[in-house]
Chain A
Amino acid sequence: EQVKVGFAAEPYPPFTSPDANGNWVGWEVDFQKALCAEAKLDCVITPVAWDGIIPALTSKKIDMIIGSMSITEERLKTIDFSDKYYNTPTVVIGPKDQKFDATPEGLKGKIIGVQVSTIHQAYATKYFGPTAAEIKEYQTQDEANQDLAAGRVDAVQADSVALDAFLKSEAGACCEVKGTVVDDPSILGLGVGVGLRKGETELKEKINAAIKAIRANGTYDTFSKKYFDFDIYGK
């Protein structure tokens, strides 16, 4: 039985990004391979549009989401999640030549870019929305970063690891981390899990077991070391 693994068809380094060969590479791709090998699933990679990824899951175009999707209460109403497989803090970045911090006061009057239908969008709307000039929503994280570099937004809020990759790139040279946002687990969730259709408990258990197994047997750390010098699994 084939299992179609969906993730966003966009560059989201270092987790998933296309390379010039037309292959998808990144930490999450490695994770997915290890996971499927462990769970003995015949996985095929199926990139889909991020803003349609949950409908794609529910309408069975894909069978699971391994796309840096955080486990939130809001999402749990529609889909199910496995246990978390990584957890990283949320940060706000901005141009080096502007001084502000990642608080509602600091972001007052700024245009903040976020990726649509992410926890960051929900968080920014709730905490920064009232004071910020505008919360601009992008289809992909890459576009938000691009617009920050192009000066069309003043700040971008997203996952620290993803932004770190951007800041290290040539285009990201303009900008720096302005700070980590105050946590709100009800929005920012409990880490990133594998998205599943509701009711597919058998698959869920298989995956949970596999996550445990690769954590335990060191596979997880082996491929993580290629990308990070810290433990991405989080606390």
Chain B
Amino acid sequence: MTEPGLAIQVTDLHKRFGPLEVLKGVSLEAKQGDVIAIIGGSGSGKSTFLRCINLLELPTAGRVTVHGETIEMKPDGQGGLMPANRKQVQRIRSRLAMVFQSFNLWQHMTVLQNVIEVPIHVLGVPRDQAIATAEALLKRVGLFEKRDAYPAFLSGGQQQRAAIARALAVQPLAMLFDEPTSALDPELVGEVLTVIGDLAREKRTMLLVTHEMKFAREVSNHVVFLHNGMIEEQGPPDQIFGAPKSERLKKFISSIH
């Protein structure tokens, strides 16, 4: 991490579900510290794209490089790809922290346990140290008092913040956010956006699928507009929101406002 190199590089990614081609060749580069907002209509493939990056979905074709290391893939014999090296995938995944739309906190663990789980059991951090880091993170997202609560007893916003703390605890190279606010009420949305804004100011690499255009415009330094499985247009936020070129994007932006 000496000089800002490429954190994530995606080249010509394709993904099909049965007869349905959801991604039709998407390429993207995220440098260290980039905050990239991914916008697009429902069903345009935003979630699928994000999930392909950490191989929760296996891409049909294309290449994903994380921090200079290309994920090795081999044909799965059915026209798709599969990881050639499980260990590598696990290693790379453990450095890409995903924050899910529905949080997906582990319900059988307290907030603190959720946060220290991956550091201890995947990264091999000593327990004391993991707890210290976790408590610092929980303080930061304002959840320190709730560290021994179970997720089911937290509000949506609190759960979301716990999920962010869990993601930060792995000291990720990049964070992938999938619509972090869509399930929340307006008040909670504000709460979560504050935290993400803070992260953005810290120059963390972030890929952010979002429907909050105002927010995207504020925090991101690059916006990607996906449409029908392809990048219809991309550029700095002011350009995308201020002077959209393509017809589709114009229509999309007008419908948002």
Contact flag (A, B; Cβ within 8 A): no
Which residue numbers of B lie inside 8 Å of A, CB to CB? none
Which residue numbers of A lie inside 8 Å of B, CB to CB? none
